[in-house]
């Protein structure tokens, strides 16, 4: 049963630890195929007009953290364009339904962001169909655990990880730049892996550390234009990406190693993105907001 995120509760019990036993999927993973679906805030998130008539682009917006952010942004008053892989059409359609149910416009933009032209299409369609861009959320990511570490990471996998996690972020930020006016915001999704890398996610962790560096450098570069750049660093979060990319032994009990003793839910990440997207964070740029269940960054 979804929890009211605003009622005071013991954070160790805010959400029950899901039964992750044998919860495996093929990449990229689908929300409806999960035996225990994540909570994206469908029933719990209440908006308060913090993003009135803003236009947001969210990559990886079909499921997981991206869906939770899309729901929250829409309920805060923003129109939303979501970019996603064509294989994730079912999840993307559900996210669009939730955005439109909040009374906001939604645009679906399928494509592979490892291609520069696909990134350009995301920006062009958003501007054309929603009238501009106020918020860019670079959230799409690829990971594939390799239990043997460096020796089992192929060049093909490395290319996909780096192009999805870094090239796409770089291209989208650059392509969006001409449309970003004073007060616009870029929010990148890093990870606790940026500072606490898991050996089986070496290539992924490397890119997440690079995202932190990019965030800080771009924030300094764009400050004089009145554009803020920040990042959110999630800890373990229950999304389709986990059973689709991690071995059984890592999925089982995922998140129990945190001080709060459980995995996070996407609904618990969305408020961090809302804060960084809104004027409430007007004096915050170049920062990384950790949402890790107590694991130190």
3-state secondary structure of 85: coil
pLDDT of residue 2: 47
User: Any catalytic annotation for residue 142?
Assistant: no
pLDDT of residue 45: 95
Here the tokens at position 102 are 């909040």
Active-site pick, 45, 84, 204, 273:
204
Q: What is the pLDDT along the chain (297 residues), one digit of tens a residue?
A: 445 556 778 888 888 776 665 555 456 556 665 567 788 999 999 999 999 999 999 999 999 999 999 999 999 999 999 999 999 999 999 999 999 999 999 999 999 999 999 999 999 999 999 999 999 999 999 989 998 999 999 999 999 999 999 999 999 999 999 999 999 999 999 999 999 999 999 999 999 999 999 999 999 999 999 999 999 999 989 877 666 555 555 656 676 788 888 888 999 999 999 999 999 999 999 999 999 999 998
Please give the Cα distance from 17 to 107 (Å, whole number).
Answer: 33
Please give the Cα distance from 265 to 270 (Å, whole number).
Answer: 9
pLDDT of residue 7: 72
Domains and CATH numbers, the chain: 46-291 (3.40.50.720)
Residues 6+ apart with CB under 8 A from 221: none
Here the tokens at position 45 are 């998130």
Q: Specify the DSSP class assigned to residue 163.
A: I
Q: Are 260 and 296 in contact (CB under 8 A)?
A: no
Q: Are 57 and 87 in contact (CB under 8 A)?
A: no
Here the tokens at position 71 are 């729901």
Q: Are 31 and 56 in contact (CB under 8 A)?
A: no
Residues 6+ apart with CB under 8 A from 153: 146, 202, 203
3-state secondary structure of 50: coil
Global pTM reads: 0.90
């Amino acid at each position: 049963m979804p929890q009211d995120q605003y009622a005071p509760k013991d954070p160790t019990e805010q959400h029950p630890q899901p039964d992750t036993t044998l919860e495996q999927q093929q990449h990229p993973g689908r929300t409806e195929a999960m035996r225990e679906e994540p909570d994206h805030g469908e029933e719990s998130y209440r908006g308060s007009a913090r993003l009135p008539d803003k236009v947001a682009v969210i990559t990886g917006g079909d499921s997981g953290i991206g869906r939770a952010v899309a729901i929250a942004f829409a309920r805060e008053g923003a129109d939303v364009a979501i970019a996603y892989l064509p294989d994730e059409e079912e999840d993307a359609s559900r996210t669009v339904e939730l955005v439109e149910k909040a009374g906001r416009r939604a645009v679906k933009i399928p494509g592979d962001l490892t291609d520069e032209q696909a990134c350009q299409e995301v920006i062009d369609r958003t501007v054309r169909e929603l009238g501009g861009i106020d918020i860019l959320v670079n959230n799409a990511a690829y990971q594939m655990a390799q239990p043997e570490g460096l020796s089992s990471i192929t060049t093909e996998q490395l290319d996909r990880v780096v192009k999805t996690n870094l090239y796409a972020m770089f291209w989208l930020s650059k392509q969006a730049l001409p449309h970003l006016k004073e007060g616009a915001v870029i929010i990148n999704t890093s990870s606790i892996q940026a500072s606490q890398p898991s050996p089986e996610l070496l290539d992924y962790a490397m890119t997440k550390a690079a995202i932190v560096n990019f965030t800080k450098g771009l924030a300094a570069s764009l400050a004089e234009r009145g554009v803020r750049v920040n990042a959110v660093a999630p800890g373990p979060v229950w999304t389709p990406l986990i059973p689709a990319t991690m071995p059984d032994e890592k999925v089982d009990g995922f998140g129990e190693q945190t001080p709060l003793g459980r995995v996070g839910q996407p609904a618990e990440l969305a408020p961090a993105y809302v804060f960084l997207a809104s004027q409430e964070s007007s004096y915050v740029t170049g920062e990384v907001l950790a949402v890790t269940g107590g694991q130190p960054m």
